[in-house]
Amino acid sequence: MTTTPRITPRIGLIGPGAVAELHADAIRAAGGTLAAVAGHTLPSTQDFAARHGIRAVHTDVNQMLRTESLDAVVVASPSDLHVKHTLTALEHGLDVLCEVPLATSLADGREVVAAAERHGRQVMVAHTLRFMRPHREVRRLVSTGQLTITQLVARRLQLRQRDVGWTGRPRDWVDDVLWHHAAHLVDLAAWLLDDSPEAVYGGVGQPWDGNGRPMDVAAVLRTRDSRLASLALSYHSRESVNDVLLISPEQTLVIADGRLRRGAELLVDSGDLAAAERAAVAAQDAHFLEVVGQGREPEPSAEDVLAVLEVLDKLAPQPSVVKT
């Protein structure tokens, strides 16, 4: 059971988009105070603030961090701004919960880790899949020796050719299948296998003419004891698939639609996928308030996530070398 923070952390939100709605609900439910919000445009930020009872509204992140009395921030801005906003918050002496991706390059991720250490603050990364009940049950089975996964197969296939988020709301930035959704699956695979990959095979597909970015990822990760994770992701799929298959010599488990099954046996039922995700964000953000209020170690920290970024860096397109 989640304990009540010893202080009531005052939280600022950076980026009042769809995922920030979940964070706002979760932080209030866990006993945090939503003290301020900063967004790109004033009308949408004011609307967000009115819905969630936030008094301080800003269109300048630096001004919010400089003028408001905050203990921590949630960075839910567009992916390419995560590093900038996280570093700025650290410079103001604040703990950070950063949405995935922590960074869109390994070098930037290392810069965040160094800054957190330099300023003596915590950076937690919102790898929300770790907090979903079916995934936590699998982790419990692994950690107690009741399940030895020899191969994990995870698929995240969706249609995301337009700049529309998972709630259907339009947005003014382009998502990245490698650094965003593949980051989630790489972290989940390593966490459930309880080991970091020793070898990485695969890569991204060709850039799509519609936005100039790769829209497909295929990867195989091998642990030090030769257990495997096979990951498939696409933003072109007109069939939506979001599942995880966990194979061991004795049993096979399937996670899909917020449920964990072993054959016909239902092991965990956390409702439909949307309900499972909301509950996971609530548990994740309650943990972050404990990080801020009680000094707990974050799960996962930015330093933990460097292993994920190292895998993504190996899968990323490499710059062409021009011979002279």
**8 or 202, higher pLDDT:** 202
Q: φ and ψ at 293, to 5 degrees?
A: -85, -25
Compute the distance between CA of residue 13 and CA of residue 25 in angstroms, rounded to an integer: 12
The domain boundary residue, chosen from 106, 127, 148: 127
**Does a structural domain hold residue 104?**
yes
Could you tell me how far CA 25 lies from the centroid of its own chain? 17
Whether 4 is covered by a domain: the verdict is: no
* Same domain, yes or no: 118 and 149: no
Mean of pLDDT over the chain: 94
Considering only 15-24, 162-171, 315-324, which range has the smallest mean pLDDT?
A: 162-171
Task: Give the whole-angstrom CA distance, residue 64 versus residue 62.
Answer: 5
Do the beta carbons of residue 148 and residue 249 sit within 8 Å? yes
Which pLDDT band holds residue 167 (cuts at 50, 70, 90)? low
The domain total for the chain is 2
Token pair 């410079």: residue: 91
Contact predicate 15/82, CB 8 Å: no
Helix (H) or strand (E) holding 14: strand 10-14
Q: Say yes or no: 166 and 222 in one domain.
A: yes
Residues 111, 153 within the same domain: no
pTM of the model: 0.93
The verdict on 54 and 133 lying in the same domain is no
In a domain, 181, yes or no: yes
- State how far Cα 304 lies from the chain centre: 13
Domain, as residue range, for 107 = 10-127
**Domain final position from 112, 127, 142:** 127
Q: Same structural domain for residues 107 and 143?
A: no
Is 173 in the same domain as 270?
yes
Across 177-306, the runs of DSSP E, i.e. the strands, are 199-204, 216-222, 228-234, 236-247, 252-256, 259-262, 265-269
Q: Return the pLDDT at 123.
A: 98
Together in a domain, 275 and 135: yes
Q: Is 264 domain-assigned? A: yes
Chosen domain end from 82, 111, 127: 127
Report whether pLDDT(322) > 50: no
Question: pLDDT tens digits, residue range 232-278?
Answer: 999 999 999 999 999 999 999 999 999 999 999 999 999 888 999 99
Residue 183 CB contacts under 8 Å (≥ 6 apart), including other chains: 100, 101, 102, 127, 305, 308, 309, 312
